[in-house]
Structure 1
Amino acid sequence: MAGLGNFAADYKSSLWRKGCLLRSFLSGRIIQNTGALYLVQISGYIAPLLILPYLARVLGTSSYGQFATLQAIVAYGLVLTDYGFLLSGTRKIASLRETGDHIGGVYKNITAARLLLACTAFAAMMAIAEFMPHVKLNLTLISAILVIVVSNALTPLWFFQGLQRMSIIGIVVLFSRIFSVLLTYVLVRSSADMALALWSQSLGTALACLFCLWYAARLLSVLDAQNYRVTWKGIREELLDGWHIFQSMFFSALLTNTGVLILGLYAAPSVVGGYAVVERVGKGVASLLTPFTQAIYPRISAAFARSTVEGLRMVGTWAKRLAFPTLGLVFMLILIHYSGTIGIVFGSEYQVYSDALLILIPWILLGVVNNFLGIQIMTNIGEQAWYSKAFTVSALVSIAISFMFSGIYSYRAIAAALVLGETSLTLLLIYRLRTVFLAKKEGYKI
């Protein structure tokens, strides 16, 4: 009996050690994945900010206003090619990661779907550009836009995030964006070089895309070497799976990008350029938390898969941890405005627009709240459809306010519209979650 007791004790001790090692490994992978996502996200905002003062001065206010309008149009195309796969694809790959079954099939079908969406996005962007009074397309601009859209479609960040293999990808993306920054300083020399500025971005995106394709093929050869075929049924399944998430992503893009386009209809290109610079700074600050919320999403999804109570508890834990960093972002915006940083960094002509940063403070706070309510909770309890509808309503509120008041209050109306749109989304999400949990009478406590 003593020997059996010792065996049981040793076995329990072995299980405990293995559990500790597994938790340590997963925790380390989470940290690495989070760090890599920070590289991707932060470099995506810091790289444009590094060249922003240079482009603003070299292109001039008028040309930069046209450039900013074109960037807003491109942003719509990127959202369309991303679809909902950054979440739905990540979630599916994460669920298949343990066994490796059908990972290759999911990868090929989502990639094919993204290429089809890229074709649609390109046509839509060309149509929008034709309606903008300050944008004049030529073959050089069109080809640069095409390279950006196709490269984005073929870059499977969702795949690497689902596998939690973002470490090397983060470094590659970082270096590709450094390359784009250097290329901008080399090629852009005058106000006539707007197309070269766009090409500098597209070439960096293409380089990262090529490496990601090679690395994905290498991982698939190890994880799932079966020769899956792309099927219309598979493409349709992936599109349906990501549809509701795409709706929220698309209307999120409307919330954050349509303002520049609407302002371009009422204001001079110089005003568009001035506000675009300040808004880019605000978005850059707001995006500092995005990699973290993306990195914890697979873990929270797994918790919800085990039980709703466990998922809500994990959401509450991470929400508390992010409260202080969020307040830090608010302080950063206030400091940037009152210290005159905008005028010092980008030029004195831009400082007049920096009051938009103060208007955007509630937008940042509510954006964090809505991420937890909408992305982290609602997409994991089967409420994607309602979340998409709420986003639609909030985006329409923002757009309506922008159209009604930007002709009177100029760029301040655009910033205020973002805040009011985000506020309406918060209220709708709270209403829906309260209704759902009261109906279930579960008494969940976050």
Structure 2
Amino acid sequence: MASLFSVNVANMLLPLLTVPYVVRIIGPERLGLLNFSQAYVAYFTLLINYGFDTAAVRAIAADRHNKSLVNQIFSEVMSGKALLWVLSTVIFGGITYFVEEFRAHWWLHVCTYISCLGIVLFPIWLYQAMEDLGRVAIFNTIVKVLFTFTVFIFIREPNDYIYQNLSLSIAQVLISVAAFVVALRRFDLTYTFPSIAQLLKRFKDDSTLFFTSVVATIYAGSNTFLLGIFSTAYSVGIFSAGTRIAGITQSFVSLALSQAFFPIVARAFGQGKEAGLKVVRTIFFPVVVLMTLITIGLYIIAPLFIHLFYGDQFEEAVVVLRIVSILPITLGLNNLLGVHTMINLRMDKAFFRISALASIISLSLNALLIKQLGHIGVSYSWVITEIFVILAFYVHLRSQGIQVVKLAYLREAVAFSKERIQSFRQR
């Protein structure tokens, strides 16, 4: 956690260095087009990932010293992703060519879609299962450094905006190739093309997690896309500016909290239900405190951040940032209750049902609010849906007799935090 946090600070700051330079050249509308394209391509990223990442981490983390198991899962996941990339490319090409709204900016979407090659090649799930995420953080930092340099070099006038997504895609693919080669050598992996039966079993076993990811993306990741479809590029630009730093915070939660802790929790659950729950209960209060401090900080610095990095033309983004400043707390709680607890307890179907219901709520709220309130409406929709998910996860766990939140566990959390801080100082 500590090493990931220290490296992730660079991952937070480097993209921000380009913001004041880029947005003053391209303006809110072109910024909206860039983010809309990323939201569009995110659906294909979702298809390529399927449910492999979470399922593979869960399986390997429970028995990561089993060489045969690791090689089998590695071969199945890489083959499955490659096949899904081919399918995604066909679908992407068809939609982008035949739908006029997408064809109008087809070159921008192609530049963004190149990043999907990186999704296939980067075995982040393997590094996660092997608890080697410090290396992943370094790879991500290199991507941000390459991206930062290329942005300053290539974006000189408004019509150069397209190079932002192209630069990020190329950097991501290059580093993904390097990460793939390093993983082969570091973990002594052997690829064997799986049989059709093995692939079909892998797709079937991970299908629930895939459909869960789909519905989760609808309520958590479709806001920008829906805003671009039913509103204007300007509104997308304002919403993107207002959620940028919240998105960076979410990346920190995902990398340093979710990905770092998930294999630890999965291994604990592999030893037994109570062992796993003890770890979740122990880290619950430290995570909540940390996320609360981040939320307060985001709310306070909202006007300063928007004016400093985006300028006066993005004044409306201040309200958006203050609305979504609560998302670090909701994301942290969703990870602890949903991903760490329910997924490791094999409550995949309940997880899916809650996510599906959240998607319906999100779509309904967006349908009501986008036309009337635009980017402000999408912000409220996002926050309300996330709060519903937290409550639903908590109620379901309680109905199964599982108590994660309890003041009695605070003493263990304090002792755990002191132990980790002392360990870090000794290093």
Instruction: State yes or no: 1:385 paired with 2:353.
Output: no
Q: For 2:154 and 2:258, locate their aligned partners in 1 and report how far apart those are by CA, in whole Å.
A: 36
Q: Do the aligned partners of residues 344 and 175 (structure 1) sit closer, same or farther apart at CA in structure 2, a change above 3 Å counting?
A: same
Partner residue, 1:205:
172
What is the CA distance between 1:325 and its match in structure 2? 0.7
Alignment of 1:147-166 (within 5 A): 147-166=114-133
Partner residue, 1:183:
150
Q: In the alignment, residue 289 of structure 2 is paired with which amino acid?
A: F
Partner residue, 2:105:
137
Gaps spanning 5+ residues in structure 2: where? 410-427
Q: Do the aligned partners of residues 47 and 125 (structure 1) sit closer, same or farther apart at CA in structure 2, a change above 3 Å counting?
A: farther
Q: For 2:282 and 2:159, locate their aligned partners in 1 and report how far apart those are by CA, in whole Å.
A: 52
Question: Percent identical across equivalent pairs?
Answer: 18
Q: Answer whether contact 1:46 1:284 (CA < 8 A) is retained.
A: no
Q: Do the aligned partners of residues 247 and 276 (structure 1) sit closer, same or farther apart at CA in structure 2, a change above 3 Å counting?
A: same
256, 281, 294: which one aligns with 1:329: 294
Instruction: State yes or no: 1:267 paired with 2:231.
Output: yes
Q: For 2:137 and 2:273, locate their aligned partners in 1 and report how far apart those are by CA, in whole Å.
A: 32
Q: In the alignment, residue 165 of structure 2 is paired with which amino acid?
A: L
Q: Answer whether contact 2:246 2:324 (CA < 8 A) is retained.
A: yes
Q: For 1:68 and 1:400, locate their aligned partners in 2 and report how far apart those are by CA, in whole Å.
A: 22
Q: In the alignment, residue 205 of structure 1 is paired with which amino acid?
A: Q
Q: For 2:95 and 2:362, locate their aligned partners in 1 and report how far apart those are by CA, in whole Å.
A: 19
Q: Do the aligned partners of residues 232 and 91 (structure 1) sit closer, same or farther apart at CA in structure 2, a change above 3 Å counting?
A: same
Q: Answer whether contact 2:299 2:322 (CA < 8 A) is retained.
A: yes
CA deviation digits over 1:41-66, x for unaligned, max 9?
A: 66665444332332222222222221
CA deviation digits over 1:244-284, x for unaligned, max 9?
A: 33333333322233212222233332222111111122222
CA deviation digits over 1:69-94, x for unaligned, max 9?
A: 11111222222222223321122222
Partner residue, 1:5:
none
Q: Answer whether contact 2:62 2:270 (CA < 8 A) is retained.
A: no
Q: Name the SS for the 2:206 alignment partner.
A: helix
Q: Name the SS for the 1:340 alignment partner.
A: helix
Alignment of 1:193-272 (within 5 A): 193-221=160-188, 225=190, 228-272=192-236
Q: In the alignment, residue 347 of structure 2 is paired with which amino acid?
A: E
CA deviation digits over 1:74-119, x for unaligned, max 9?
A: 2222222222233211222223422322322211110111112223
Q: For 2:21 and 2:401, locate their aligned partners in 1 and report how far apart those are by CA, in whole Å.
A: 52
Structure 1 stretches of at least 4 aligned residues deviating more than 6 Å after TM superposition:
none
Q: Name the SS for the 1:343 alignment partner.
A: helix
Q: Do the aligned partners of residues 53 and 255 (structure 1) sit closer, same or farther apart at CA in structure 2, a change above 3 Å counting?
A: farther
Instruction: State yes or no: 1:64 paired with 2:31.
Output: yes
Q: Name the SS for the 2:88 alignment partner.
A: helix
Q: In the alignment, residue 360 of structure 2 is paired with which amino acid?
A: L
Q: In the alignment, residue 86 of structure 1 is paired with which amino acid?
A: D
Q: In the alignment, residue 334 of structure 1 is paired with which amino acid?
A: Y
Q: For 1:251 and 1:405, locate their aligned partners in 2 and report how far apart those are by CA, in whole Å.
A: 20
Q: Name the SS for the 2:221 alignment partner.
A: helix
What is the CA distance between 1:179 and its match in structure 2? 0.5
Q: In the alignment, residue 280 of structure 2 is paired with which amino acid?
A: V
CA deviation digits over 1:343-386, x for unaligned, max 9?
A: 12111111222111222234332222121111111111120111
Q: For 1:256 and 1:340, locate their aligned partners in 2 and report how far apart those are by CA, in whole Å.
A: 26
Q: Answer whether contact 1:343 1:351 (CA < 8 A) is retained.
A: yes
CA deviation digits over 1:170-209, x for unaligned, max 9?
A: 2233112211111111112222223322210111011111
Q: Which moved more, 1:363-372 or 1:207-216?
A: 363-372
Q: Which moved more, 1:356-365 or 1:411-420?
A: 356-365
Q: For 1:50 and 1:240, locate their aligned partners in 2 and report how far apart those are by CA, in whole Å.
A: 44
CA deviation digits over 1:124-182, x for unaligned, max 9?
A: 445565657487234x4354234211121111011111122333332233112211111
Partner residue, 1:308:
273
Q: Do the aligned partners of residues 104 and 134 (structure 1) sit closer, same or farther apart at CA in structure 2, a change above 3 Å counting?
A: closer
Q: For 2:119 and 2:396, locate their aligned partners in 1 and report how far apart those are by CA, in whole Å.
A: 34
Alignment of 1:350-365 (within 5 A): 350-365=314-329
Q: Name the SS for the 1:88 alignment partner.
A: helix
Q: Name the SS for the 1:230 alignment partner.
A: coil
Q: For 1:428 and 1:280, locate their aligned partners in 2 and report how far apart those are by CA, in whole Å.
A: 27
Q: For 1:89 and 1:431, locate their aligned partners in 2 and report how far apart those are by CA, in whole Å.
A: 28
Q: For 2:273 and 2:211, locate their aligned partners in 1 and report how far apart those are by CA, in whole Å.
A: 24
Partner residue, 2:379:
415
Q: Do the aligned partners of residues 318 and 186 (structure 1) sit closer, same or farther apart at CA in structure 2, a change above 3 Å counting?
A: same
Partner residue, 1:425:
389
Q: Name the SS for the 1:58 alignment partner.
A: helix
Gaps spanning 5+ residues in structure 1: where? 1-30
Q: Do the aligned partners of residues 422 and 197 (structure 1) sit closer, same or farther apart at CA in structure 2, a change above 3 Å counting?
A: same
Q: Name the SS for the 1:311 alignment partner.
A: helix
Q: Answer whether contact 1:343 1:350 (CA < 8 A) is retained.
A: yes
Report the aligned-residue RMSD: 2.6
Q: For 2:279 and 2:136, locate their aligned partners in 1 and report how far apart those are by CA, in whole Å.
A: 27
Q: Which moved more, 1:317-326 or 1:253-262?
A: 253-262
326, 337, 359: which one aligns with 1:373: 337
Instruction: Tell me the TM-score normalized by structure 2.
Output: 0.86
Q: For 2:11 and 2:286, locate their aligned partners in 1 and report how far apart those are by CA, in whole Å.
A: 24
Q: In the alignment, residue 183 of structure 1 is paired with which amino acid?
A: T
Q: Answer whether contact 1:37 1:292 (CA < 8 A) is retained.
A: no
Q: In the alignment, residue 293 of structure 1 is paired with which amino acid?
A: S
Q: Do the aligned partners of residues 156 and 366 (structure 1) sit closer, same or farther apart at CA in structure 2, a change above 3 Å counting?
A: same
Q: Which moved more, 1:424-433 or 1:345-354?
A: 424-433
Q: For 1:370 and 1:388, locate their aligned partners in 2 and report how far apart those are by CA, in whole Å.
A: 13
Q: In the alignment, residue 170 of structure 1 is paired with which amino acid?
A: A
Alignment of 1:394-405 (within 5 A): 394-405=358-369
Q: Answer whether contact 2:62 2:266 (CA < 8 A) is retained.
A: no
Q: For 2:249 and 2:265, locate their aligned partners in 1 and report how far apart those are by CA, in whole Å.
A: 24
Q: Which moved more, 1:318-327 or 1:116-125?
A: 116-125
Q: Answer whether contact 2:32 2:238 (CA < 8 A) is retained.
A: yes
Q: In the alignment, residue 342 of structure 1 is paired with which amino acid?
A: I
Q: Answer whether contact 1:69 1:135 (CA < 8 A) is retained.
A: no
